[in-house]
A and B are shown apart, each in its own frame.
Chain A
Amino acid sequence: MENTVIKIENLVKRYGDLIALDHFSLAIREGEIFGLLGPNGSGKTTTINCMLSLLAFDKGNIEIFGQKMTPVSYDIKKQIGIIMQDVAVFNELTVYENIDYFCGLYITDKAERKRCVMEAVEFTGLGEFLKFYPKKLSGGLLRRLNIACGIAHKPRLIILDEPTIAVDPQSRNKILEGIQKLNRMGATIVYTSHYMEEVEQICTRIAIMDKGKKIAEGTKDELKRMIKNTETITVEVLGLSEAVRNEIIQLPHVYRTEYDGERLTVFCSGGTHNLIRVLDVFRTHEIRVGRVYSELPTLNDVFLEITGKELRDRKGDSHVLS
């Protein structure tokens, strides 16, 4: 049986009247890439800060590596690497000096530290920038430096708190690949994000949070199975009559339709060949259609169905949350 690396039981954290964490429980096993998914303000960072004993909590219990986590659990802290959502490095130190400084907080042996720093440099691809100061680095390189500072001491548990915010797609992919590589090298990863694609891409298990509560937990397939929707079909069509819409909703596995005068959205639950049946209706009535596409449910659909709201604001920037 896999060992439990992090065990959180009934965690409660209040900021005055606001409940940031409401009886939150979680168990993360060794070797996992565990995703903590939720919109801003859902309690992800608060959970991490409580896990690291950087933040006092009102109720509950946290165990890491089988031991109760307290502010003075320095032996446990030494085995954890943290990568914050804000880049926390010294602007006055070079790339090498920064990694060396943070690595030196864990490893005192100079030779070993140098080896670890160079491995972190190689891992993050910062070799060419060792003598650069952070202000001279691009956003992506800064994020990589932030990661290098967090992993140089080879922690058993790595916590990444939204490490890809404001990072270009190329750098983001490199970061995600790096996280998977770290996991393959034996580290357990806790990854918080509000980017569902990232979480879907790399996490072996996911917990979805909202308003300080865990609303769902499981693998991405398990989560998707929790909801009614299994397929969403979208058809661009003009002037669709009520009769045709009624015919479509009568089709097997279709449980809901939406039409805005230009686009018909058909929600299906289970079944196969749903798209063919829908298109057959249009062919029968000789209705010309534009683009047609079928989508499998995403974590956003899971979030939407469970909470009644979207994880991400579709109207605005793709990274802006509702």
Chain B
Amino acid sequence: MRTDSPPADRVLSLDGVYAGYGRTVVLEDVSLELASGRSASVIGRNGMGKTTLLSTIMGFTRLHDGRVAVCGTDVSNARTWRRVRAGVGLVPQEREIFTSLTVQENLAVARRTGEWDVERIYELFPRLYERRSNLGNRLSGGEQQMLAIGRALVGNPRVLLMDEPTEGLAPVIVDELQVTFARLRDEAGMTILLVEQNSRVALAFAERCIVMSGGRIAYDGDSATLRKDRDRLDRLIGVDAG
């Protein structure tokens, strides 16, 4: 892994990225940067490349061209676990909790030295503390999502990637998680890249919004602008923003 430019205050940097699965190219010429403490939401219709964007940052896809850097370290050719150690954490779409492990163990296997430890996760999600001895498959959907977030956080990432974390959850849990996301962003200063199908949640979460369309970035700018210009938002994502 090279450690030349971009500067370290940019915790995430993609430069002219072409990536996909095997020979199929899904992302085309994607460039974006995230500075430390600045979050962004990614929205777009299904199949537009949102999840592939996160997968490419994690190293799950084949990078055809371009460069991916985490905290100033070029991780374009690095294995996934090295990217995680460079400072990126992922909350996957399917949560993918280890069902043979307890809540405590799910957190323990991902723990690395830093300000986020298991106890702090329990402070953030007291319900996880109550369920700490439960196996991963003995949790509700909301609790599994809390655990997936906690598991990413105990890895002490500099940038947290969240792939549709509210999908399939009850509205009351979605509200609860939104409060948590805001706390992470504002109180903990966490840099978050949130991929979200629910554009209302996405536009409310971050000042910056990235719209993916056909594997390219169709919009990268203020969330407020899109919130006000509903016609443009409808054109970009093809649904009512609500």
Partners in one complex: no
Interface residue ranges, A against B (CB under 8 Å): none
Interface residue ranges, B against A (CB under 8 Å): none
